[in-house]
Amino acid sequence: MAEGPIDGGAAAPGSDPPSNIDARLRAGRISIVVALLLVAIGIFRLITDSLHEGWPNYWRSLDGTLWRYLVRAPSDGTLWGDLNARFFKVLSIPTGAGLVFLGYRFGSGTLPQLQLGFRDLMVRSVWIGVFAAGFTVIEIEKAYHVFGMATHLLEGEVSWMNHVTHAVSAALAWWLWGWFSFEPTSRSQIELEVELDALGGTPAEGIDEPES
């Protein structure tokens, strides 16, 4: 059994006081909720982006409502319109990070094993690099139309600013990758760790503390 804190200060299973157990459960649950929220936003935005390519004026039916600032639409000159057109994409790569996290989190293996795989530097670099490259291709197409896609810059978008926003998005995803927690989400999972430890297993061996 590994000594010391596990994911944010929790002591080894079997010696955790209730406060540390609650902190571990909270970290595990919050990570899943945040990842699900990011993925839901990404799916919603993908749908509206695709809809915009085939029906560019669909957003007009939402004018005057809050939804107008949540779907892909040109800026109306307001702060919210500019934020939507220019900076909503800052969530693009974190959304991909959330999707990859959920794939690992609910994959086969123990939580420490899954965390070690997810936190591997090469895994992180490749995934974020792939997402960044994909969005770069889209931005090039929006500005220069070299791939024959139906996407284009909207009023309020600036090509170079889009690239900067995606760079910020990649940095945010890199941080988020280290923040996601593989702690248990139920007390039964912690009890299972204790039982495995009593049988001579080392379920927490090799688990890393979350990165700051």
Q: What are the tens digits of pLDDT across the range 8-54?
A: 444 444 456 667 889 999 999 999 999 999 999 999 999 998 888 88
User: For the segment 116-130, what is each residue's pLDDT rounded down to a tens digit?
Assistant: 999 999 999 999 999
Whole-number CA gyration radius for the chain: 21
The whole-angstrom separation of Cα 50 and Cα 83 is: 20
pLDDT recorded at residue 194: 75
Residue 87 φ/ψ, nearest 5 degrees: -120, 0
What is the pTM for the complete model shown?
Answer: 0.82
Mean pLDDT, rounded, for 134-140? 94
The whole-angstrom separation of Cα 195 and Cα 203 is: 10
